[in-house]
Amino acid sequence: MGATYSAEDNKLRLYVGRVPRADYERLRAAGFVSTPKQDCDFVATWTPRREDIALSFLEDDEDIGDEDYSPQERAADRAERFEGYREKRAGEAGAN
């Protein structure tokens, strides 16, 4: 488990894996979004409340780290994913 913060995009990212339903609902209610296609599991814009929630998933001696993955790298990965979607949809359209 871990959590990071990126000042470049003002996002908190949680790396917690699959969480129990109650935790999932608590994260969603706080504004975290599930990100199954990305390397992290949940993401939200930073607020003091969201930071407290992220810290609750960490061990007592752990803190939120700096995000090493740049927004440019995320954009490139996203573009790659969308290219795959486009190819899949084109194949599906041609199969009809």
Say whether pTM exceeds 0.75.
no
For the chain, the maximum distance between any two Cα atoms, rounded to a whole number of angstroms, is 57
Q: What pLDDT digit, counting tens, does each position of 53-67 carry?
A: 999 999 988 999 887
- Rounded (5°) CA angle 79-83-87: 170
Please say whether the dihedral angle defined by the alpha carbons of residues 68, 60, 42 and 40, taken in this order, is positive or negative.
Answer: positive
Higher pLDDT: 36 or 28? It is 28
